Structure 1
Amino acid sequence: MKKLLFILSLFLGIQNSQAQVSGRLVTNAGAPVPFANVLLRDTRDSANLAGAATTETGEFRIENTRSGHYMLRLSSLGYVTRELPAFELTSVQNRKDFGDIILEEEAGQLQEVYVRAAKPMFQQEIDRTVINVESNVLSKGSSALEILQRSPGVIIDERTNGIALNGKNGVMVMINGKMMRIPVEQLLAMLNGMSANDIEKIELITTPPAGYDADGSGGLINIVMKKDKKPGTNGSLSLTAGHGWGEKATGSGTIGHHTGKIDLYGSYTFSRDRSRSNFSAHGSEIAAIVGGPATFEFRNVYKPLRNNHNLSGGIDAQLSPKITVGGNIGYINSRTSSQVFNQAEYILYPDSLLLFNGHVDGNSRWRNTITSVYAEKKIREGEKITFNADYLHYNIANNTIVNSSFLDENGNQAGSGGENQFAADQSGFARTAIRVGVVKLDYAKQLSKKTKVETGVKTTYTESSSLSGIQELINGEWKPRDEVANDLAVTEGIGAAYLSFHTQFNPSTSLAAGVRYEYARTQIADGRTGENSVDRRLGKFFPSLFFSKKLNEKNELQLSYSKRISRPSYNDLSSFVSYNDPISYFTGNPLLKPTITNNLKAGYHFYGYSVSVLFSRDDYPIVQGQITPGGNGDLVYISPQNIRYQNNLTFETSIPVKVTGWWSMNYGFVGGWRQYKLDYLANWFVKSFLSYSANFSQSFRFAGNFSAELSGWYNSASYGGNARVSGFGAVNAGIKKELKKNKGSVQFSVTDMLRTMNIRNSIGVLTEDAFHTRAYVSYNAESRRFPIMKLTFSRSFGGTRTERRQENSSSEERDRVR
């Protein structure tokens, strides 16, 4: 290690001794001129010796120039071409910085120029699959959630509010590189209210490098929003109206002003979604609380109304050519009111009958504030240092009122737990507050033309408190139920450091290697007594390696390895309790262990076709919705649990087909062998199975700026924990009209046009739990009753801006709040 640090310090001390010419092109107003051409010419014969293009901030740099006499020629579409006076470079004075250079706009320039380039819908890179959303005809009529549902290998489970990638949970979701540390239910609602019109691409990152936080054993999903390039005042507007079982509406707007040195930006989105879903279940179990063995029939209807507000704003300022600072604040307010109707019949052996009718009114509110500041300093060419500091505050409240009856066939109160065990009137409450502070420092240096080094440190401190319980109305007085009350305090500190190298051996061969070390201490205490129930320390190295070799212009081979971790979400660790029915409750699990994952991937690419094979090993993966004893052992607790391991051997391919100039197709497939061991039950087992996910799209372009798309996806049957999930999928269609003169677009789309979103679950089919449960559940999403139809209008206006927003140092904390 000492030798490595000594070599690194020598490398960091190396200074580029080659001659260099630099500067920055700006307009009269001081705005940058991006993507302009800069030519270095010999004064003797005006021969072009070297060239460069300006960056998004108007900067250019030409290196490795010999001593001599030169001049610069500057040109860009819409600007007057300019030649600068001759200058000299010598071995002593080998650097020339022109500073800001003004380019005059042409008086007779074109008012509007449209440049359109089509990208393939799917692209395979060394560590990720990229979905180019703009290449999807239906993107403007879809939400971000619908785009994810149609992405290869992504499974959105709205029953359990879960996200899986390539058959694995523990997936982190990022927006512009910033992880969304919010409850998954709220995350899905936010993505459902986010217009895909604002999305450039979605990255499915299966083997992230060391520069990314190690959290996310199942991989990362990064949603990249569109970034406009031109300076000035700009904005966009998108309006969506729709209907399924209930009304849908989304309105979003953005505005920004970019002068070249100051960037002000803000956005607001409101979404409203009235929905409906239902499920039915039948089976058997042995529950002492109702008197022993019983068969049951259960019917549920869930009617939520979600209203979400998302407001953000910020400023970036370039104090000098080398120093940039900025800050932003985001606020999200989400309210969900819901009605749940439950009916159940319990037949007790030999001939007793119990009838349950329940009505649950729920009201939940979630508020989230994120503040961030950053500073970036360019020390010299190819060398910079970046500082980030974030503070996150989450406040979640959930209240329920239960009105129910639980009677035997004679109309008497049922149950053996006393007169208050199944009170007709109950109320539940849950309060969770989470505070997170993050500080991060990163350093990057270009050691040479071929080698770059990056390093950094980060510290995170989290405090979380959770209070929940259920009360019963007995003789006009609310009385708490001690067996379902919880008061929990969690503190966690994480320190991390990483080092990575990237080397381009030659134009066809590259290697990136890195290592990240993270140390975490998690303490969980009873809020009433202050005694610790958990005091866990974990320190681990997380190496990564990426190799790419172009065999020729048509063929490329890629290999990668990474090690990851998924820490339990703060909500999963909380011992909250929420009412489900008289004998079962949802709760968390303070004893959850983190998941450690090793990923090994090989990929091969030929033109637009790609094939890859991924092997991964998860130790202690977390599965949701598992049945365990609770209370005094007679209540059914539905909670997350660790299983011992899971192995995955995954095959992935993407096949684009262009039939004609107006008809194109794309087919994707992700699937393979899965194996896991469940050992949290007394009757443990090992399960192996095959599963897959497939998707297709058919895109058509017609005269008159009309286009249409037919697409679909299907997830095969699979297993998780002690349950089997049947296959499910959907077919979608839509048509879009681009208005003339850049007046926007109008699009009509239909989701699940064949009404196939039915998911069937078989619980307890692999081994016996404490209640000998056998349950068969059939879930119907909203679109099963009526397809979801949406009409969308979207338009951009004004100039556009160059975004310079930094990735928050708190990115990996947000997704742990679920």
Structure 2
Amino acid sequence: MMLNSWISNLTLLILLIINNSISAQIQGSVRDFDNRPLSFANVILINQSDSSVVSGLMATDEGFYSITSFKPGKYIIEVSMLGYKKGYSTPFEIRSSKDHHHNKPILLGEMPHEIDGVKVVAEKPIYELKIDRMVVNVESSISSSGITALEVLEKSPGVIVDRQNEELSLAGKSGVMVMINGKRSRMPIAAAVQMLDAMNADNVERIELITTPPAKYDAEGDAGIINIVLKKSEDLGTNGSFTLGAGVAHRERMNASLDINHHVDKVNYFGSYNANFQNRRTEINSYRKLMVDGSELETYTDMNWEAIRTYHNIRMGFDYTISSKTILSMLGSGYVRDWDDDGVNAIQYYTDQNLTNESDLNQKKVGKWIHGMGNINLQHHFSEEVILDVNIDYLNYYHDDPADYTLENLGLNNVVESTEEFRVTKETPIDILVGAVDFSTSVNEKLSLEAGFKETMTWFSNDVSLTYFDNAMWTVDEELTNMFNMKEDISAVYLSAKFNPNKKTSLSAGLRYEYMNTTLDSETEKGIIDMHYGELFPTFYASHRFNDDNTIQFSYSRRISRPTFNQLAPFIAFVTPDTYVSGNEDLLPAFSDNLKVDYRYKSWILSYSYTETKDAITRFQPKQSEDETKQYFVSRNLDQVKTQNVMLGFPVNVNSWWKMRYNFTWVHNRTITDYEDTKIDYKQGSYMFNGTQNFIISKKISSEISGFYTSKSNWGVYTAKARGRVDIGVQMKLKNENSQLSINLTDAFKTNVFGSETEIPDLNIHARWRLDFEPRVLRIKFTHKFGNQAVKARKRKTASDEEQRRVTAE
């Protein structure tokens, strides 16, 4: 009844807005001659008859503007920006209060400056420091052509990609939320890593590293947000692009994509499709030692995986301009991910350094992830500065992940003496309903406000079964077979304010309140999880620009990291017959306090951050069974984690055809926890370096060398070993300027191999891992753009943008 009432009231609100939204509007965009948006350009509406100024505003960070304060008449638009020549629209006429006028993009040329015969031209910096984020402009990176978005992210300052555990960390912290175009994907990091690994990097315009997100965003994620902004286009007409790519490592890889936009009058249609095929080979080596009754028991494993992965992603929808102030949008998206994995794990057992047994564990996995999402969005401008945004989302996920295992016990000369068969099934449907209302207004030129509320309802089930083939029949393991059902409701409200006391100082503060109800039951036990709590999450930002070359910023935020659904719901996956990966229903949410200071001098950026996290959630941590015969790898809470981070980034321009950019990051982690009744206090310092060198060979040919190096670092109770990578890329524009050919070699020296180890003698834990994901790939890619390259696909958020992280696609 409450849900029906809530939807009815929201529908009534939408209808009232539609019926009261009739007035004129002038829209358009500001771009440079390379078709890149010019952020925050000055836009002035001028009366054509007497050249008087009618209205003025500043373009958005995407270069988009929308003017509503004017009367019918003949006008022209003037645009200006520091470092660029002024630009003007063609004259146009507004005949009535219902006219909706679209201007073609206004292009600004760069303003050259002559200094002792040297021509200096303004250009977009690789790294931009804003009040709450660092922006990495990656679309011009040649070595990123043809690779995946995950590989681009891997080269970003302060970001570490851990493919071993399918984790991301930002500024030395692992509680990262991944967003696409400001839309949260509602999946855990493991799933987001896989999604980004299938996404073509040529669609990425920039990466935003938001370490202290504003109150408008969910408080989820103690490390902050990594926002992947995809390329867009704008204005009337039709445009699109298609890409064909192929690569080879040990085996072949192929990808293709199609993007299209069609914008006519009041309707903008858009759609995209991406297909990715990967024939992979993975090598995993592990070691485990146990001390039992004075004897040393060791297990060595060598696993070889043959994996065929296919990814299909689709997104389509339309934006309809009801009136000059109201836009109604519908969006549908989804993906299908299939995998067919075959692996053989050769296992050797030693007792006091003497070989006692050998076996082969054959694994077969044929699984699928299916996802669909529908969104309805209504955005209404009461005026230029007063905006109401309403979203309703429904999401469905279905995960089917069966695995068949055959254990062959070997005798002398590798002869099979006996076999054992067992099977694990896991079926997981998830349904999510999200509604959100956001309101923003400007009180005056110095003060603006934002407020909103959000409701998220999730229904989740997990059907897990383990069976053994014994005495010519399949026998169910009752201990590890069960049906789990979870229900979660999260209600949130927020209020934030931005205040600019003068042109050089900006202040922002916000407060968000979230209340959560979570229950997890099984067919055999009720109340496995029964959590009900409410928390406040404050944020504060301050920025002061001393002059054009010097800016300092300060920020504080409180965050939460909730366990993902699959981390909570019990499941099991075999590494060896006595080594498992499993869920943990005892996980608690983690809370963190974050402080950050940034200083920019010209193009140099220096940042320092400090974070304290309580009950930090860390994946794949070792745990022994009571009889110490089995080892589990589970997500678990660590009592307290303190993280310090220092980052320095700067450019080096050798000459007009050779430019470099370097970033150095230092991280210090301290982990204090009671681990299986043993006090642990780990301290670990680490550093990361990444750099890019760009070479302009000719007007149509350019190249790039980029790479990174990460020293050893800690991950819970594990120590991750040092690793690095070098990428080389060459790009050539064809005779047709809309076509481009690129060749790229990733991990040229094959040094990006993952390794980790842990030694806790008091807990009888001794383990190490080595994973080789065959990262070296030679790729060739052809891209062609067609149509009017200025067609705009409207950027907006959906209600579930910040929810999808907690659904896994492992």
TM over 0.5: yes
1:379 Cα deviation from its structure 2 partner: 2.1
Secondary structure, aligned partner of 2:151: helix
Partner of 2:14: none
Partner of 1:60: 67
Matched, 1:317 2:349: no
Partner of 1:122: 127
Partner of 1:301: 304
Q: In structure 2, do the counterparts of structure 1 residues 129 and 489 end up closer, same or farther at CA, with 3 Å as the change threshold?
A: same
In structure 1, C-alpha distance between the alignment counterparts of 2:213 and 2:276, rounded to whole Å: 32
Matched, 1:24 2:26: yes
Equivalent residue for 2:804, pick from 805, 814, 817:
814
- Counterparts of residues 383-402 of structure 1 (less than 5 Å): 383-402=386-405
Partner of 1:488: 484
Is residue 201–residue 223 contact of structure 1 (8 Å, CA) maintained in 2? yes
Give the TM-score of the pair, scaled to structure 2.
Answer: 0.87
| Amino acid corresponding to residue 744 of structure 1 in structure 2 | S
Is residue 263–residue 792 contact of structure 2 (8 Å, CA) maintained in 1? yes
In structure 2, C-alpha distance between the alignment counterparts of 1:432 and 1:349, rounded to whole Å: 43
- Counterparts of residues 645-794 of structure 1 (less than 5 Å): 645-763=640-758, 765-769=759-763, 772-783=764-775, 787-794=776-783
In structure 1, C-alpha distance between the alignment counterparts of 2:104 and 2:552, rounded to whole Å: 46
Equivalent residue for 1:280, pick from 282, 285, 301:
285
Is residue 679–residue 685 contact of structure 1 (8 Å, CA) maintained in 2? yes
Secondary structure, aligned partner of 1:740: coil
1:432 Cα deviation from its structure 2 partner: 1.1
Secondary structure, aligned partner of 2:302: strand
In structure 2, C-alpha distance between the alignment counterparts of 1:758 and 1:482, rounded to whole Å: 39
1:457 Cα deviation from its structure 2 partner: 0.6
Is residue 281–residue 776 contact of structure 1 (8 Å, CA) maintained in 2? yes
Partner of 2:114: none
1:760 Cα deviation from its structure 2 partner: 2.4
Partner of 1:155: 160
Equivalent residue for 2:334, pick from 331, 336, 342:
331
In structure 2, C-alpha distance between the alignment counterparts of 1:321 and 1:220, rounded to whole Å: 33
Matched, 1:447 2:443: yes
1:25 Cα deviation from its structure 2 partner: 6.4
Q: Structure 1, unaligned stretches of length 5 or more?
A: 1-20, 28-33, 86-96, 415-421
Matched, 1:804 2:794: yes
Is residue 44–residue 53 contact of structure 2 (8 Å, CA) maintained in 1? no
Q: Structure 2, unaligned stretches of length 5 or more?
A: 1-22, 30-37, 80-86, 112-120
Q: In structure 2, do the counterparts of structure 1 residues 606 and 183 end up closer, same or farther at CA, with 3 Å as the change threshold?
A: closer
1:377-406 CA-to-partner distances (Å, cap 9, x unmatched) read: 222342121111111111101111111123
Q: In structure 2, do the counterparts of structure 1 residues 761 and 139 end up closer, same or farther at CA, with 3 Å as the change threshold?
A: closer
Q: Supply the RMSD in Å over aligned alpha carbons.
A: 3.3
Partner of 1:12: none
1:210 Cα deviation from its structure 2 partner: 0.5
1:588-631 CA-to-partner distances (Å, cap 9, x unmatched) read: 11110111111111111111111011011111111111122458
Matched, 1:192 2:197: yes
1:355-392 CA-to-partner distances (Å, cap 9, x unmatched) read: 12111011111001111111112223421211111111
Matched, 1:561 2:553: no
Is residue 67–residue 384 contact of structure 2 (8 Å, CA) maintained in 1? no
1:39-83 CA-to-partner distances (Å, cap 9, x unmatched) read: 44697x7566875688877742569x9xxx998545797964358
Is residue 119–residue 135 contact of structure 1 (8 Å, CA) maintained in 2? no
Matched, 1:525 2:521: yes
Is residue 203–residue 221 contact of structure 1 (8 Å, CA) maintained in 2? yes
| Amino acid corresponding to residue 767 of structure 2 in structure 1 | A
1:804 Cα deviation from its structure 2 partner: 2.0
Matched, 1:81 2:71: no
1:532-559 CA-to-partner distances (Å, cap 9, x unmatched) read: 1121112110000000111112111111
1:806 Cα deviation from its structure 2 partner: 2.4
In structure 2, C-alpha distance between the alignment counterparts of 1:53 and 1:451, rounded to whole Å: 15
Partner of 2:595: 600
Is residue 691–residue 706 contact of structure 2 (8 Å, CA) maintained in 1? yes
Partner of 1:93: none
Is residue 140–residue 794 contact of structure 1 (8 Å, CA) maintained in 2? no
| Amino acid corresponding to residue 802 of structure 1 in structure 2 | K
Is residue 669–residue 692 contact of structure 1 (8 Å, CA) maintained in 2? yes
Secondary structure, aligned partner of 1:470: strand
1:99-128 CA-to-partner distances (Å, cap 9, x unmatched) read: 53769999xx99x99999742222222222
Is residue 735–residue 748 contact of structure 1 (8 Å, CA) maintained in 2? yes
Is residue 516–residue 532 contact of structure 2 (8 Å, CA) maintained in 1? yes
| Amino acid corresponding to residue 395 of structure 1 in structure 2 | Y
Matched, 1:498 2:487: no
Matched, 1:515 2:505: no
Secondary structure, aligned partner of 2:164: coil
Q: In structure 2, do the counterparts of structure 1 residues 505 and 37 end up closer, same or farther at CA, with 3 Å as the change threshold?
A: closer
1:151 Cα deviation from its structure 2 partner: 1.0
In structure 2, C-alpha distance between the alignment counterparts of 1:460 and 1:665, rounded to whole Å: 46
Which sits farther off after the overlay, 792-801 or 309-318? 792-801
In structure 2, C-alpha distance between the alignment counterparts of 1:36 and 1:679, rounded to whole Å: 57
Is residue 685–residue 767 contact of structure 1 (8 Å, CA) maintained in 2? no
Is residue 125–residue 137 contact of structure 2 (8 Å, CA) maintained in 1? yes
1:679 Cα deviation from its structure 2 partner: 1.5
Partner of 1:100: 99
Q: In structure 2, do the counterparts of structure 1 residues 58 and 220 end up closer, same or farther at CA, with 3 Å as the change threshold?
A: closer
| Amino acid corresponding to residue 121 of structure 1 in structure 2 | I
Q: In structure 2, do the counterparts of structure 1 residues 224 and 47 end up closer, same or farther at CA, with 3 Å as the change threshold?
A: closer
1:187 Cα deviation from its structure 2 partner: 2.9
1:709 Cα deviation from its structure 2 partner: 0.6
In structure 1, C-alpha distance between the alignment counterparts of 2:110 and 2:147, rounded to whole Å: 24
In structure 1, C-alpha distance between the alignment counterparts of 2:427 and 2:126, rounded to whole Å: 43
| Amino acid corresponding to residue 748 of structure 1 in structure 2 | I
In structure 2, C-alpha distance between the alignment counterparts of 1:583 and 1:530, rounded to whole Å: 26
1:303 Cα deviation from its structure 2 partner: 2.0
In structure 2, C-alpha distance between the alignment counterparts of 1:459 and 1:25, rounded to whole Å: 32
Q: In structure 2, do the counterparts of structure 1 residues 409 and 806 end up closer, same or farther at CA, with 3 Å as the change threshold?
A: same
Equivalent residue for 1:225, pick from 214, 217, 230:
230
Equivalent residue for 2:272, pick from 267, 272, 290:
267
Q: In structure 2, do the counterparts of structure 1 residues 571 and 745 end up closer, same or farther at CA, with 3 Å as the change threshold?
A: same
Partner of 2:8: none
Q: In structure 2, do the counterparts of structure 1 residues 83 and 332 end up closer, same or farther at CA, with 3 Å as the change threshold?
A: closer
Matched, 1:479 2:490: no
Q: In structure 2, do the counterparts of structure 1 residues 483 and 409 end up closer, same or farther at CA, with 3 Å as the change threshold?
A: farther
In structure 2, C-alpha distance between the alignment counterparts of 1:272 and 1:114, rounded to whole Å: 42
Which sits farther off after the overlay, 142-151 or 797-806? 797-806
1:288-320 CA-to-partner distances (Å, cap 9, x unmatched) read: 9xx974122221112211101101111111101
Secondary structure, aligned partner of 2:139: helix
Equivalent residue for 1:253, pick from 255, 258, 266:
258
Q: In structure 2, do the counterparts of structure 1 residues 792 and 537 end up closer, same or farther at CA, with 3 Å as the change threshold?
A: same
State the percentage of identical aligned residues. Answer: 29
In structure 1, C-alpha distance between the alignment counterparts of 2:414 and 2:139, rounded to whole Å: 61
Is residue 145–residue 729 contact of structure 2 (8 Å, CA) maintained in 1? no
Aligned residue-pair number:
758
Partner of 2:619: 624
